Amino acid sequence: DSGVTQTPKHLITATGQRVTLRCSPRSGDLSVYWYQQSLDQGLQFLIHYYNGEERAKGNILERFSAQQFPDLHSELNLSSLELGDSALYFCASSPFDRGSTDTQYFGPGTRLTVL
Amino acid sequence: GDSVTQMEGPVTLSEEAFLTINCTYTATGYPSLFWYVQYPGEGLQLLLKATKADDKGSNKGFEATYRKETTSFHLEKGSVQVSDSAVYFCALIFVQSGGSYIPTFGRGTSLIVHP
């Protein structure tokens, strides 16, 4: 158990809908990262927050947005969902800001299925 | 941009066989390199890391050496067990001059170990 929690575990929804994925980092960790894992794209970095501030953006679509709240939990909002958004979404946490040697601790993931 | 290339899987071995999973990278500077492991139904876990050239990371019998001259970070284990069956991800993190960075993962290599 990494100490990172994600809810829900599974989510099934229809095209065009909007969903919110939630992540609680390990106690004391200030950084949260979001990733999308799909069969065709592999593991793709989406976005990084540190102590409530956005730090880096990867391959995140404009239909997707995220935020980190004062209690350090984070939410990833996915809107106007398409079939291709079906994937596993992971969050990871670490104690530090832009550290290049950081270990990231991954949550168990949320499996999103868009029908 | 930065990229990580891993050998295609699945890699299928008998118990006690020698394992090598190749990983090469391209980066504009000198990144930190990581191997993560993902067991079925779980998130990624850090297996080992190396932060500078010629460093060797090791954990649970797995080893990888940071080779700057060949831009490689191959994962090896002398004698695999059935419990090593999982997906292995090579990754890099490089902090750019502007302070931003994007964690970059390979597509993962599935390892199947038979008794």
Are A56 and B43 a contacting pair at CB < 8 A? no
* pLDDT < 50: residue spans in chain B: none
Percent of chain A whose predicted confidence (pLDDT) is above 90: 80
Name every residue whose Cβ is closer than 8 Å to that of residue A17 and which is 6 or more positions away in sequence: A81, A114
Summary mean pLDDT of chain A? 92
Are A101 and B93 a contacting pair at CB < 8 A? yes
Ranges of beta strands (E only) in chain A are 5-7, 10-13, 19-24, 31-38, 42-50, 53-57, 64-68, 74-78, 87-94, 105-106, 110-114
Produce one character per residue of B24-52: b if its CB has 16 or more CB atoms within 10 Å, e if not. Answer: bbebeeebbbbbbbbeeeebbebbbbbee
C-alpha distances (whole Å) from B77 to each of A25, B80, B81, B94 are 32, 6, 10, 26
B100 has a chain A CB within 8 A of its CB:
yes
Give residue B100's pLDDT.
Answer: 67
- For residues A75-95, give the mean pLDDT: 96
**Could you say which of A2, A4, A43 has the minimum Cβ distance to residue B108?**
A43
The C-alpha angle with vertex B43 and arms to A11 and A70, in degrees rounded to 5, equals: 75
Please name every residue paired with A94 in a beta bridge, in sequence order, or none if there are none.
A31
Task: Say whether pLDDT at A83 is over 80.
Answer: yes
User: Token pair of A86, please?
Assistant: 């079906």
Nearest CA in chain A to B51: A101
pLDDT tens digits, residue range B84-113?
Answer: 999 999 999 877 666 667 788 999 999 999
Please name every residue paired with A38 in a beta bridge, in sequence order, or none if there are none.
A42
Are A42 and B49 a contacting pair at CB < 8 A? no
The C-alpha angle with vertex A10 and arms to A115 and B105, in degrees rounded to 5, equals: 95
pLDDT tens digits, residue range A9-41?
Answer: 999 999 999 999 999 999 999 999 999 998 877
Give residue A20's pLDDT.
Answer: 98
Q: How far is residue A75's CA from residue A114's CA, in Å, rounded to a whole number?
A: 19
